[in-house]
Each structure stands twice: as structure tokens, then as C-alpha cells.
Chain A
């Protein structure tokens, strides 16, 4: 059944693409992207854009900014129609934002935050990193900031005092680079990004070592404004994402992103992050 639907969807998309051509008669859909692991790889971004464009039968503009905050802000002020955010900013604005879909990675919509050090570093746990330098990804990143910050808070510490210096690199790959190159002693990084880099840039991750992994937490979701969720473009996005693994282009894009696909996200998926947020605010 699924196969026939897939085939039908595929054929429909193909016919639509052939008869109408992409993006005819539709306004451009603007999708914001937080710095994903391959945000520096134009081919991956372009693959994703083409797959979505084909799936949504319209032009897709992928909007990238340096920080999570910028993308979240753009979504909130409707500069973009949807955005691939992190669970942390989503929860920060849960009253305004709504989940569209969540990526499936290694069979589930979950990922971990990794605490990494240089390959030669003797540290084995967070406590060993006291007085060292640390790289966070983004102050609005769950895996790249919130997890380590809450771990420290739970120990009665604060990043500003626990580390001699902490920096933000505004990119998970940059965190890995900063640690691998010795710019900082340790870093907080998205576990999915680290694992994906281990596949495509093993020489980079080989210079780092994971000394801590968080509990499994909700994977960074695709969000839209709550008030625009029911709109046709957002629903088209949702459908295109959910059916991305049914097209060649979609599979190529997913393969490049090392994802299995997209699925509807239960609200409870981000309870873990919510719990950490509460701990941090205490």
C-alpha cells in the first residue's frame, strides 16, 4: 500500500514537474536553516533545496544565517516560512512555534550531545575540564550549549567560571575543528554532527575524542509559526519532508545528510530538553 502511494506520489510529482515545471504559479517558500553539519557544503544544501522544490512543486529558498537566534528571529517575524531549528529555541518559543516534522536518524528522532576533547588530552569526564578552554556551538543550541551548561549547573558550576575561557564557534563542525586544532581543550557538539563528520571527514574527528554523551534528546525539528501551520505552503513542506525518502532526489538529499527521513514529532519528544531548560533557569 505504501509502495503504491509512494509510486503515485512520485508519478504525481513527476507529472507536475513535467507539465507545470517547478515553481510555476507558486510563491517562493523560504526555509531557514540553522548551521547544520554540512552547512558549508553547497552540494548538500543544493540537494536538499532541489528535493524540497520537487516535493513541494515550488521554488525553495534556503536561508542561512550565522546564529540560531537570527534564524529563530526570522521565523518569528515571518521572514521565513519555516525553519530547521534546534529543540532548545523551539521550546523557548513553543507558544508561537509548532513542530512540522522531526528528522529520523539511525531509526529514531533522537540524538545526543557529545563532550569532546583533543585526541591526546588526558581528560575523561567533564570534571577534568575545569580551568580549561571550551568551545560551544551556539548559545541557543541544545547539544552545543544547553546540555553542558545544565550539566555544570547540576554540579553547581557555571560555564563562565568553570572554564578559563569559553567561546562560541556558531557551528558544530567549527567546534570539532576548534578542538581538533587545539584552539580549545574541549567542546560541546551535536552527536549527530560528530558521527556524520566521522563518516565524511574522519581525519578531522580522529583528532578528537568523545569523553561524554548526554541522554537521548529530541532531534532538531522543522518548525513553523503556529499561526501559519495550517497554511498550504507549510503543509506542502510537511508532506514533502515526510515523503522525501520516496524520491530519488529526496533519498540523495537524505543520504547526503545521513538521515533516514522525516516523521511527525510527538510533543513529548523534547521533554528532556525542557527538563534541562528548567534546570538552567533555576
Chain B
């Protein structure tokens, strides 16, 4: 049965139709054979009755006289007739059941008991060819002038009737098999043609590696039938899916710039603050050029300020560099992240708990780009959630060949829509942003998993990525 369910529809339906035809054919054949059997039974019974009646008329007086020769002679002549050929043996007995004569006296000798020969012979009404016996045995009373004067036992050869029945059966089977075969083939071809568009649809949906392709116009059935409409609707859906994927891709791209936009104000502030100080330093140098100590101190201040500006600029560049995804993760990547998030947390007077515990050998075999993006998005989300005076935390560590990044905040907790974006594949609601969904997709693409928990007034989102997967993707 499971095999049957796996069969394609274009094969299953003709098979079903063929099975039904076999059933109908079998029932019809059974009816025909039953009718044939009934006709044969009636024929044999009628023949036997005529035989018995004819013999009764001819043999009655002879049996009364116990004229053995005349009984034999009459039986012998009767057996030569065409009707007699079916009666392969007939024996006649007197009232006492003693055989007077039989057409084959050697088998049924004169004076033997008719009961020994009759055995389980049937009466006229019970005579039936339906049993698989080529020879039937009939017993009937020999009535003459209103009284029974003896008995007649006859053997009827019905092998020709059985052959007739066998031939009918064979012809029916062959005929049915041929008809069913032809009809099943025709049905198969017709249904296959009818279901052709469905097969094309299934192929387009299943054999395109998750990227449904539209059905070619030439393969769409003509007219406005269900299948044509189905194909057109499918093509429309494929177009909609492609458009949606494109929209999501653009949205993700935009999200990256949104993140940058959100950072840019902090960055401006970060750059603007030291710039004010640096301008003061340059004024100081300009005002006190003759005081070397002041100039030196100012130069140190200037140096620190410019270095800070350089670090901020580099971190921003790294985040957006295309080749960032191609290299391995380093501790410095988390330093950059800290540098980037600090202005955001500072602006909200938030505390930042930062704990990064990565091996000292530099590169960790995880793709740097996606992990930076995942961490930054979660950090930005946490910072937004924690509100003013809140606490945001990041803990990154490697353990048992896996990297765990835990982002925490003391906010009110993530709303249902945000959790759906982060933890499920449900469609995005308009206006919700795609940052968290991007986190989910990037994590899944690295073979990782995301766990969300809310405890003690803290929201914790933990992303765990196995090293093999991360390493594979990093190298790829």
C-alpha cells in the first residue's frame, strides 16, 4: 500500500480504472458463466428426461416380461442414436433392483444389483453440470402404465459441456484482459495527457531546489480549464515569491544602512566631542608656541584624540567592508563592536557589560562578517530595548568547538512580533524592520541556533554556532 501511495497520479488513476474494470469484468463473467451453467443444466435435465421417458415407453412391457434380450437390444439401439451418445451407459433393473440389461453388460452384468452401480446417482431434478465431473449419473424410476416397474440408471458424458464452459471462461478472461488492457492503456494515456500540466507543476515546484520556476507558456494548457488557471495562478505566485525575495533582499540591504544611520549620529557625536577638544588643543598650541611643555602636552592630547578618531573610522569601515565576510573572527572584531556600540550606550547612559573570551591565537575559525552583523544587530536591539540608564551586556566565548554569543539587556522584554521575527519563519509584518529576521537567517545559514530567555528582569538572546559549520562557511 505505501508503494501504491508513492505512485504518480498519472499511473495510479489508470491502475484504479483498470482495477475497477477487472472487478466489473469478473462480475460480468461470473454472471455469464452462471447463465451458461443454468442453460446447460436445463439442457441436460431435458435430455435426461426425454431419455428416461423414451426408454420407459419402449422398455415398459419388456421389463414387465423380464425379456432380457429385448431390453438389451432396445438399449443398444437407443445408444446408437445421436441422443444416446451422451448416455454412455444405461442400465435397466426390475422392481427388485436386479439388473435386466445394460448397454455395457461387462460393467453392469445381468442379475447384478442396480444399487451397486447407481451409487450416489442423482435424480432428474438434481442433475447438474456445475460440479466439475465429466460424467454424471442419473437414477430414475421406469414408469409404465401408471406404475413403477423398474429403474433406469444412466451415465451422461458432459465433458463437452464442461469444455464448452472452460472455453467460455478462457474466452471471457482473454476478452476481458484484452479489453481491460486496451482501455487501461487508453485511460493511462488520456489521464497522463490530462494530468500533464500537474506533472509539470509538480516538477517546477519540487525539482528546482527550493526556487520555484514559472511554467513555460507553451506548457500551459490552452483554454480556461482548471489546469490552465492553476498553471497561471502558479506562475503568478512564483512571480510574487520572487518579488518578495527581492524585496526582502533589498530590505536587508537597507537594514544594514539603517544600522549605519543609527550609528552615524553616535559617530558624529563621538567625532564631534573630541574635535572640540582637539580644536581647543590647536588653539592652545597656537597661543602658547613658546611653551614647550604646553605644546608637548597638547601634542599628546592631539595624538590621543586623532587615534581615537582613527579607531572609530576603521571600525566603521570594517563593518561595511565587503571582504569582512571572507575572513575569520578575531577578538579585535568584538573590540570594534564595542567601539561602535559604546556611543549608543553612552548616549543612553547605559552600562555596558563586555566579556569576550576567545583563544589567544588570533583567528577563530568562524566567519567574521556574519557574526559581526549578528552581534551588532542584537546589541543595537538590546540598547534600544534597555532604555535610558539600563544595562546592556555581551558575552562571547568558545567552548567545545562552538561559539556562544549572549546579548542581554534589562529592558521590558521583546514583544511578540520581535520574537516571531527572531525565532520563527512566519511572514514579516509590514513596518517591523528586518534586523532580527536578518539575525535569524544569518544564524541558520551558519548552522547555528538561537535561544531566547527572559529571567530576573533580563532578556537574554543566545546564539550558538558549531565550529565546523562556521568554519565551513568562513572558508566558503
Contact = CB atoms under 8 A, between A and B. Distances in A.
B453 interface: no
B105 A165 contact: no
Contacts of A177: 73, 76
B89 to A, nearest CB: 13
B69 A167 contact: yes
Task: Give the 4 A-B residue pairs with the shortest CB-CB distance, closest first.
Answer: A182-B106, A169-B69, A183-B105, A182-B105
Interface residues of B, number: 11
A174 B68 CA distance: 12
B334 interface: no
B44 interface: no
Interface of A: 133, 135, 164-165, 167-170, 174, 177-178, 181-184
B328 to A, nearest CB: 114
Given A164-B111, A181-B76, A174 B106 contact: no
B364 interface: no
Interface in B25-63: none
Q: Which of B76, B106, B110 has the most CB of A within 10 A?
A: B110
Given A164-B111, A165-B111, A135 B69 contact: yes
Q: Which of A165, A170, A183, A184 has the most CB of B within 10 A?
A: A183
Contacts of B104: 182
B188 interface: no
Contact of A165 (B73, B76, B106, B110): B110
A164 B112 CA distance: 12
B73 A167 contact: no
Nearest to B107: A182
A183 B111 contact: no
A167 B68 contact: yes
A250 B72 CA distance: 36
Contacts of A165: 68, 110-111
B69 A168 contact: yes
Nearest to B69: A169
Contacts of B101: 183
Q: Which of A135, A167, A182 has the most CB of B within 10 A?
A: A167
B111 A174 contact: no
Interface string B89-115: 000000000000100111000110000
Contact of A174 (B69, B105, B110): B69
Contacts of B73: 169, 174, 177
A164 to B, nearest CB: 7
A45 B113 CA distance: 41
A133 B110 contact: yes
Nearest to A120: B106
Contacts of B105: 181-184
A184 B76 contact: no
A170 B65 CA distance: 15
